[in-house]
Structure 1
Amino acid sequence: MNNDSRIPRSKENDYSKELATMRRNFIKEKTGEALDYTGQYTIDESVLPGNIENFIGIVQMPVGVAGPIRINGEHAQGDFYVPLATTEGTLVASYSRGMRVISECGGVTTTVVEQFMQRAPAFLFDNAREAREFGNWVKENFESIKAAAETTTSVGKLKHIHQWSVARSRYLRFNYTTGDAAGQNMVGKATLAACEWIKRNYPGGANYLLSGNMDTDKKHSHLNMLHSRGKRVIAEVVIKKEILREVMGVDTKMLAKATVLANTGALMAGAAYNGPHAANGIAALFIATGQDEANVVESHAGLFSHELLDNGDLYLAVTLPSLIVATFGGGTGLPTQRECLNMLGCVGKGKADKLAEIVAATVLAGDISLGCAVISGDWVSSHDALGRNRG
């Protein structure tokens, strides 16, 4: 590669207005695009190290606010206005409509059941029996392995290790709690220290690959439905039949029947989520609050549950078993993302569970709204009026 093709960089200070301008000029020369709008932004480049490389500007995305939604959580309590970053018309209006139903029914109850973040190394041996013996040794030496892992972090705590034997390999899945951070990098560093300790102390040594891909990092897996990755969060509400009819124009019995049909369709399709659209609200909230957007693929998976009660009211619940959110690290410290977190009261120590409860409540609101829109026929007409289909 000749020097004319290399993206401009500086070893002294690569995060400056001058370098960003130089790179935009380089792109204009190579592609013809001047990046005039991308080059207009208000944040200080000095806050960007650790978040981006080869910085050229900011892609601006519309942010709307939905709500209020009443949440009766253990961590999120009260009425919340939720920032949603999206380019899909009707989305914010739809979530607001679902939030109105929830709030008029007394609010949504949210519960964080458990939380873990994983790294899953694979160890290779000469045969299956050696791999089995290694697994027994790991169980017997868990406390020493835990101590080695936790030398790398003051926040991460190793809670347990799942194990599986395949051929002559032994897969270990280290499960940590990670405080207010999502923790993928944290647990990677901790697990490396643990594996090196194992390699030094296991009789005869042990060869390993730091990730055998059973951590399912940024990939959906059924394993996470059973063994939580991130936070397992449940949002539940009893929808009063009179309120659903008044606000949505839909009968609770019809919504229950439609949910049965949707469950069957999702089962036949092998979908990761059987509700209407968990990914929409999660992605919009993730972008607004500086979450790692790739984690939407894990976080959106879950279960949408319903039960028609004897009095005609409808119990609805969303279970998200692998919701990965953070209020510390990553993009959460960037200026606009921090403002959105502050809207939710989720800046500061000990706020990650609160954010998780807000996300789950938002998902439930969106599912109620879209489920009713499909039944009532508003789905297409609202997109024609407000969204992408407008002429």
Structure 2
Amino acid sequence: MQFAQIPMQWVGPLLLRGDIEDRVEAPMATYETPLWPSVNRGARVTEKAGGIRITLIDARMSRSITLQAVNAHEAHQAAQAILEQQDRLQAVVSQSSRFARLIEIHPKIIGNLLILRLEFTTGDASGHNMVTHAADQLIPWLLQHHPQLRYVSISGNFCTDKKVSAVNALHGRGKNVVAETWLPEKLVRRYLKTTPEKLVELHIKKNLLGSIAAGSLMSANAHAANMLLAFYLATGQDAANIVEGSQCIDHAEVHDNGDLYFSTTLPNLIVGTVGNGKGLDFVQENLARMGCTDPDALPGENARRLAGICAATVLCGELSLLAAQTNPGELMAAHLKLERKGS
């Protein structure tokens, strides 16, 4: 097996509060070398201000299956019956995995098609394969107990995997995490070279209005995908999941005392600490260094910790880039200095 060579550096330390109380560094693998000092700048100012508060809202992985009835009436009747059978469906799911647990079903009827969005908790795995395996076990059971239905697809795109969608932003897919920080004005001026007022104004005109003008779907951020991809590659994640992962929303406001409040909300943060990609030596070393391989942790705790660290990394990068863009020429000057040393 051959490996692609991607430069990696550790950023931070990140001072974390709330659902995670720790001071950790995070690995980032990227060709965009200005990303490391930019995230480091965000980490430095947030640490000086008392850290980044992490709140883990939810955790789930989804797989949608598509079945077909003769008409919409029969599809609707089947959907209503299936919703009442969740306990029986969980008994089937438990045969496929000791970690998968069916927690919610969202039916969608289109003509005579019945699409079922099945949502599971998946322990420390990101859960792609786990929920697909569970769905594979559920389909024969559903067809046996609802003979008016027939199989169409194991994936009905209502999941929604590796695609931007409103349903993921509404219901969440992966970890739903909020990272937030409170920065005194003097620290914003000293470390970010801007003011809280300028940063909030840019956030409104760029992240919010610019995203509306672009037709962005439930997303308002500066470049979250940059930090996500770098973090995903360094920790053995499925990198294509940055598509839905970057559907995140920044929020900023100036308090009455002049301080800055800044947050990043990521409802679709798909990360895990076990499963495909996690067996590589460098991945295991990185996860262990972040404290995400604790053998005594309860199922899901290591993955939730990893998600919190990832969210903090994204916040630092968002904060630093927005600050840079309040100053004409700063962004390009940094790229020229850090990426074109030999030209």
TM-score (normalised: structure 1): 0.83
Which 4+ runs in 1 deviate beyond 3 A? Answer: 203-208
Contact 2:74 2:148 in 1 (8 A): no
Partner amino acid, structure 2, of 1:329: G
How many equivalent pairs are there?
Answer: 335
Structure 2 partner of 1:184: 128
Partner amino acid, structure 2, of 1:373: A
Deviation at 1:140, TM superposition (A): 2.2
Contact 1:73 1:357 in 2 (8 A): no
Contact 1:327 1:348 in 2 (8 A): no
Identity %, equivalent residues: 35
Deviation at 1:390, TM superposition (A): 5.6
Aligned counterpart in structure 1 of residue 283 of structure 2, from 321, 337, 346: 337
Partner amino acid, structure 1, of 2:209: T
Matched, 1:240 2:184: yes
Contact 1:89 1:388 in 2 (8 A): no
Matched, 1:352 2:303: yes
Secondary structure in structure 2 of the residue aligned to 1:152 = coil
Partner amino acid, structure 1, of 2:305: K
**CA–CA distance in structure 2, aligned partners of residues 159 and 230 of structure 1:** 13
Matched, 1:110 2:54: yes
**CA–CA distance in structure 1, aligned partners of residues 242 and 294 of structure 2:** 23
Deviation at 1:253, TM superposition (A): 0.6
- How do residues 180-329 of structure 1 correspond to structure 2 at under 5 angstroms? 180-204=124-148, 206-262=150-206, 263-272=208-217, 273-329=219-275
Deviation at 1:176, TM superposition (A): 0.1
Contact 2:224 2:317 in 1 (8 A): yes
1:108-146 CA-to-partner distances (Å, cap 9, x unmatched) read: 000110111111111111111111111111122221122
Deviation at 1:277, TM superposition (A): 0.9
Matched, 1:382 2:327: no
- How do residues 120-139 of structure 1 correspond to structure 2 at under 5 angstroms? 120-139=64-83
Q: Give the root-mean-square deviation of aligned CA atoms.
A: 1.4
1:242 to 1:335, Cα distance in 2 relative to 1, 3 A: same
Deviation at 1:203, TM superposition (A): 4.4
Unaligned stretches of 5+ residues in structure 1: 1-54
Contact 1:289 1:332 in 2 (8 A): yes
Partner amino acid, structure 2, of 1:252: P
Structure 2 partner of 1:47: none
Secondary structure in structure 1 of the residue aligned to 2:94 = helix
Structure 1 partner of 2:322: 371
Secondary structure in structure 2 of the residue aligned to 1:80 = strand
- How do residues 62-73 of structure 1 correspond to structure 2 at under 5 angstroms? 62-73=7-18
In terms of Rg, which structure is larger? Answer: 1
Secondary structure in structure 2 of the residue aligned to 1:258 = helix
Deviation at 1:271, TM superposition (A): 2.6
Contact 1:108 1:361 in 2 (8 A): yes
Deviation at 1:91, TM superposition (A): 0.9
Which has the higher mean CA deviation after the structures are superposed, 141-150 or 250-259? 141-150
Matched, 1:59 2:10: no
Contact 2:67 2:149 in 1 (8 A): no
**CA–CA distance in structure 1, aligned partners of residues 122 and 310 of structure 2:** 19
Secondary structure in structure 2 of the residue aligned to 1:220 = coil
Contact 1:256 1:308 in 2 (8 A): yes
**CA–CA distance in structure 2, aligned partners of residues 279 and 351 of structure 1:** 22
Structure 1 partner of 2:40: 96
**CA–CA distance in structure 2, aligned partners of residues 149 and 255 of structure 1:** 48
**CA–CA distance in structure 1, aligned partners of residues 215 and 56 of structure 2:** 26
1:356-391 CA-to-partner distances (Å, cap 9, x unmatched) read: 000001111001100111112321111111025861
Higher relative contact order (CA 8 A, sep 6+): 2
Contact 1:233 1:319 in 2 (8 A): yes
Aligned counterpart in structure 2 of residue 146 of structure 1, from 79, 83, 90: 90
Contact 1:384 1:390 in 2 (8 A): no
Unaligned stretches of 5+ residues in structure 2: 296-300
**CA–CA distance in structure 2, aligned partners of residues 390 and 158 of structure 1:** 55
Partner amino acid, structure 2, of 1:384: L
1:293-314 CA-to-partner distances (Å, cap 9, x unmatched) read: 1111111111111121111111
